[in-house]
Structure 1
Amino acid sequence: MDPLEDVLALLETRSHLSTRLLAGGEWAVRFAAPSGVKFNAVRRGSCLLEVDGVDEPVTLSEGDCYLLTRPRGFTLRSGPGVVPVDAGPVFAKAEDGVARVGCGEDVFLMGGRFSFGLRAQELLLDALPPVVLVPAATGQAETVRWALTAIDQELLHRRMGSTLVAEHLAVVMLVHILRLHLVREARTVSGWLAGLADPVVAAALARMHEEPARPWTVAELARSGAVSRSTLAARFKSAVGQGPLEYLTAWRLELASKQLREGSATVASIARDVGYGSESALSTAFKRVMEVSPHHYRKQSRESSATAVPPDHNRTE
């Protein structure tokens, strides 16, 4: 299995498209901290992006796309010195899925957000910078432009199933953005995501994700990358921040956690599925890493689900 695909599936990645924005003249819009990961793409014109906690504004040109990976407020503006208006009232007055600000139609943005399961922050988002930018001038950005154009067409023509298709295309776009970020900014990425940029480490990750229950040894994993045991151990530790077998343990526990949250299988059955020989072996590892027993974790998860506030899927900005 592909590790990136595995993690995005484990995190139950979903996209939620939002109202588009038309702007012209001098304008500025202030947005509250988004829930999930916010994305926007500039389909026409240019503007500035200012993100709380990021020192310098980001200049956005036609074709550029960005992700905001932290829950931080941000401002989109035509230029410096314009007093921003709150996004809420602007988007509340949207017509035909388009909100307007300023005078004219110089700038057109489309966007939305990605929502994830419980472990997204640690498994994915902490490995990324607060702002991930994909400039249109980047040669590899063609696939992102294709996805954005296809989303535009779905939203414009509103054929049967257009919302579902557009939201799936947005997830495709997310995968391409993460791929491009790995290629362009491999040195700034951390954790398992950084391992995908190293072909030797990526080969070992792929084998572990393909057969997580197999009793892997470092020597066997090293053969998948045609390197020595010591070379794999050193490169894996350098890229991912932990050894191969430590990573394997963590991934098995993530798989076990998902089954405990969502399924009704016994702890003994889950233990066998993820590579532990007995319920007690899984319980020992689970307590060491998660600090609670599997049974307690399942109980906590069900209680949390029963009292959770449903997500607001009607957010437009």
Structure 2
Amino acid sequence: MDPLEDVLALLGTRAHLSTGMTAGGSWAVRFEPPDGVKFNTVRRGRCFLSVEGLTAPIALEEGDCFLLTHPLAFTLFSDPHAVPVDAGPLWTAAGDGLPHVGDGVDTFLLGGRFSFGDRARVLLLDGLPPVIHAPAGTGEASAVRWALEQIDAELQGRPIGSTLVAEHLAVVMLIHILRLHLAREPRAGSGLLAGLADPVVAAALRSMHARPAYPWTVAELARAGAVSRSTLAARFKETAGLGPLDYLTRWRIELAAQRLRVSDDTLATIALAVGYGSESALSTAFKRITGTSPREYRRRCAGAAAVEAAPGPASQAAG
């Protein structure tokens, strides 16, 4: 089993593409902290990215892409002296057209965001840097460039099913950017991705994801990576940020949470499926990890789903 595939599937990863933006001359656009993971790519021209809390702006050349993985305000600009305009009113004023700022159209940006389930930050995002920059000029970014070119072609030509195809291609792009980040900074940060960059830890992760209900011991997981128990424990803690059995517990709870969200299975059935011998054992572990009981979690998710399904005013995405 591929742990990254497991996590992205469990989180219900989806891409949402926006209308893009054109700009020219001296300009700057300020964006509120995004809901989910934001991405933008410079399809034509160049600009700069400034992110709240980061000291220096990032230069974005034609073909570059970035992921904003944390909910931080950011500004895209061509001129550091330009007075930023807010993205929200800019998109509202554009209506069904393409938002534009500045004089001329020497820059074109395509953007969107990725939405995840409510456990995404714990499972994946907390272990990532606030910004991942994928420069077009690097050899490792060729797959990212390919995905972006295909997205652009779908949105320009608008064949049948173009929106769905473009959104799936954006998820492909996300995976390639995460691969690029791993290849470029295998020891940066901690969490699932850092663990996958270590072959010993990755072997243990694959074993646990393949058979999450199995009563794993550290010794058995160490044999999967052909190392000692102490070596696995130390490397797992260093890269993933917690011990191997602690990780297993958390992954089992994530699997249980998914079944609570999407199925009517009893707690006893879910407990056995994820490796707990009784409903009470699952409930104790679930509350320790999530801060709420399984029954309360199921009620809360059902209420949130009902609110989301209710008709309401459409909202305009910015950027």
Question: What TM bracket, shorter-length normalisation?
Answer: over 0.9
Paired position in structure 2 for 1:19: 19
Give the distance between the partners of 2:5 and 2:32, measured in 1 at CA: 30
The letter for the 2-side match of 1:271 is A
1:315 and 2:317 aligned: yes
Residues 283-302 of structure 1: pairs in structure 2 closer than 5 A: 283-302=283-302
TM-score computed with the length of structure 1 as normaliser: 0.94
Paired position in structure 2 for 1:43: 43
Deviations 1:109-148 (A, max 9, x none): 1110011111111111111111111111221100000000
Give the distance between the partners of 2:233 and 2:198, measured in 1 at CA: 13
Residue 313 (structure 1) shift: 6.1
Does the 8 A contact of 1:276 with 1:282 survive in 2?
yes
Does the 8 A contact of 1:200 with 1:225 survive in 2?
yes
Deviations 1:204-246 (A, max 9, x none): 1011111111111222211221222221111111111211111
SS at match of 1:9: helix
Q: 1:135 to 1:211 in 2, by over 3 A?
A: same
Does the 8 A contact of 1:22 with 1:100 survive in 2?
yes
RMSD of aligned alpha carbons: 1.9
1:150 and 2:150 aligned: yes
Does the 8 A contact of 2:92 with 2:316 survive in 1?
no
Paired position in structure 1 for 2:77: 77
Does the 8 A contact of 1:40 with 1:112 survive in 2?
yes
Residues 1-317 of structure 1: pairs in structure 2 closer than 5 A: 1-94=1-94, 98-307=98-307, 314-317=316-319
Does the 8 A contact of 2:187 with 2:197 survive in 1?
no
TM-score computed with the length of structure 2 as normaliser: 0.94
Q: 1:161 to 1:225 in 2, by over 3 A?
A: same
Where does the alignment leave 5 or more consecutive residues of structure 2 unmatched?
none
Does the 8 A contact of 2:187 with 2:239 survive in 1?
no
Does the 8 A contact of 1:194 with 1:239 survive in 2?
yes
SS at match of 2:99: strand
Residue 289 (structure 1) shift: 2.3
The letter for the 2-side match of 1:123 is L
Q: 1:61 to 1:89 in 2, by over 3 A?
A: same
Does the 8 A contact of 1:52 with 1:72 survive in 2?
yes
Give the distance between the partners of 1:299 and 1:71, measured in 2 at CA: 27
Q: 1:185 to 1:312 in 2, by over 3 A?
A: farther
Does the 8 A contact of 2:28 with 2:84 survive in 1?
yes
SS at match of 1:40: strand
Q: 1:111 to 1:266 in 2, by over 3 A?
A: same
